[in-house]
Amino acid sequence: MTPTQQLLPTAEAAPAPSLRPRGNACLADRLARSVLAREGSGSGSGVRTAQVPDLLAARARSGGYVVDRVPLDALSGWSFTPGTGNLAHDSGRFFSVEGLRAEVGGSAPHSWQQPIIHQPEVGILGLLAREFDGVLHFLMQAKMEPGNAGLVQLSPTVQATRSNYTKVHRGRDVAYLDHFVGPARGRVLTDVLQSEHGSWFFHKTNRNMVVEVPADTDVPVRDGYLWLTLGQLGELLCHDDVVNMDSRSVLACLPFAPESASALRSDAEVRSWFTEERSLRDVRAELAPLSSVTGWHRDRWSIAHEECRYFEVVGVSVRAEGREVPQWTQPLFRPLGTGVTAFVTRRFGGVRHVLAAARREGGFLDTVELGPTVQCTPANHAHLPADRQPPFLSTVLEAPRSAVLFGTVLSEEGGSFLHARSRYLIVEADESTARTTPPPGYLWLTPGQLNSLTQHGHYVNVQARSLLASLLTTEPPHSPA
């Protein structure tokens, strides 16, 4: 032994690290069994699927909830910032309403200005999962949001911005938060950053999470929460304004197995096409002072477009005893008209495909995300000639009833938008209405391929995730083993 070796401490051999499987082959089977469980387990909530809409309506009636329109200058804790005209909270947190200047290049270049919500903090949308009688259930919250149609809808277990769960509002703790942050959280089934509406939010990102606790873990069910299976949620997605947008977003991010090993394009080709769309699309968008935005005017009650289109910014006063804070005021965006959000679908070789579009929206963190075939508010385009109407809009609106595989009216995010509703559709097409070779900017891919892309942030937009949630919870990707 050398003198140098004598000076070195003798270290015990470190135990060999244990390795874990990179994937979870059995999770897809467990998700499929949950999809097939249309009435859940008696050991879960014990609530039958058909009872849920009535339970939500009863809670809305008995909860003491009141939402009133108020003038923008009557918003407590909010004010228009001198110099910029931005509408912001006195704490500097939550969000602000600012201006956006956007320019899109390409074959049909155009530019515009608008108000937009700037909320740079990342929120948590978290679903808690647990097995009852061998079937995965998910803890849903009957949550009141001031902009919801019907006020109360099914939200994730946790739906909170960072300002909420760090209690900037000095309200109550967010229930079940410890299952999603810190060392006590359970087994992560999915955890991915996803965008919200790129037309109304600037670079908004939420953490979409599903965390499972062991079946022998006692999870006290608080008032207003209930355990439901994926099959029950799939049934409830067929009801207007029952499953909220945040729940739909998280459900679409669950890692279902692809329903088929075959598709019109390989996964590598899909990713290559998408990468090319991103690289070729020239989108420039930047925040600007709200007072500098042209084409919009402000009065005491709203900020609105001069042609009475798109949306307006309004103020509301809210009373909600069951929330972390029982009373508050805030601005909301109120769309002018009901949207249409639709996937055109066909089967190729017996395998279902949906026609996705490369969507460019001014608020996206990246230039492009995959969206539905149709995503628009028809009233905003009514003044345009037929050749300038959104592609495939007439296909989905004029489809015979037999071709509509899914059709319901769903609310968008009720914490930021007032009665923002869209008619969500999945419409069967053929070669005459949706060709095998789609127009530029569109691509046929399977729901399984789309689901695999939701495992990555900012690939699939929130409207497409909503439609994907209905596909995954009504048509099991595969039968459980």
Label the pairing between strands 296-298 and 339-348: unpaired
Q: What is d(CA 353, CA 442) in angstroms, rounded to the nearest whole number?
A: 12
Mean pLDDT, range 388-411, rounded to an integer: 96
209, 271, 233: which is closest to 466 by C-alpha? 233
Mean pLDDT, range 426-447, rounded to an integer: 97
Structure tokens at 358: 């490369």
Q: Which of 19-33, 85-99, 382-396, 433-447 has the lowest mean pLDDT?
A: 19-33
Mean pLDDT, range 217-238, rounded to an integer: 96
Task: Calculate the CA 195 to chain-centre distance.
Answer: 7
- Reported as a pLDDT band with limits 50, 70 and 90, residue 169 is very low
Q: In this predicted structure, what is the pLDDT of residue 366?
A: 87
- Reported as a pLDDT band with limits 50, 70 and 90, residue 329 is very high
Check whether 477 has a pLDDT greater than 60.
no
* pLDDT tens-digit readout, 293-319: 999 999 999 999 999 999 999 999 999
Single-letter code of the amino acid located at 465? R
Determine the Cα angle at 104 with ends 204 and 253, to 5°: 35
Q: In this predicted structure, what is the pLDDT of residue 281?
A: 76
Q: Which single residue is written with the structure tokens 């989905």?
A: 396
* pLDDT tens-digit readout, 26-51: 899 999 999 999 987 777 888 999 99
Check whether 113 has a pLDDT greater than 60.
yes
Interacting residues of 402 by C-beta distance below 8 A, sequence separation 6+: none
**Positions of E strands within 145-281:** 152-155, 158-160, 187-195, 201-202, 205-212, 225-228
Mean pLDDT, range 270-297, rounded to an integer: 94
Check whether 453 has a pLDDT greater than 80.
yes
Mean pLDDT, range 401-405, rounded to an integer: 97
Mean pLDDT, range 448-453, rounded to an integer: 95
- Reported as a pLDDT band with limits 50, 70 and 90, residue 88 is very high
Mean pLDDT score across all residues of the chain: 91
Q: In this predicted structure, what is the pLDDT of residue 12?
A: 63
- Reported as a pLDDT band with limits 50, 70 and 90, residue 6 is low
Check whether 149 has a pLDDT greater than 60.
yes
Q: In this predicted structure, what is the pLDDT of residue 10?
A: 53
- Reported as a pLDDT band with limits 50, 70 and 90, residue 182 is confident
pTM: 0.92
Check whether 164 has a pLDDT greater than 60.
yes
Single-letter code of the amino acid located at 351? V
Q: In this predicted structure, what is the pLDDT of residue 324?
A: 77
Q: In this predicted structure, what is the pLDDT of residue 481?
A: 52
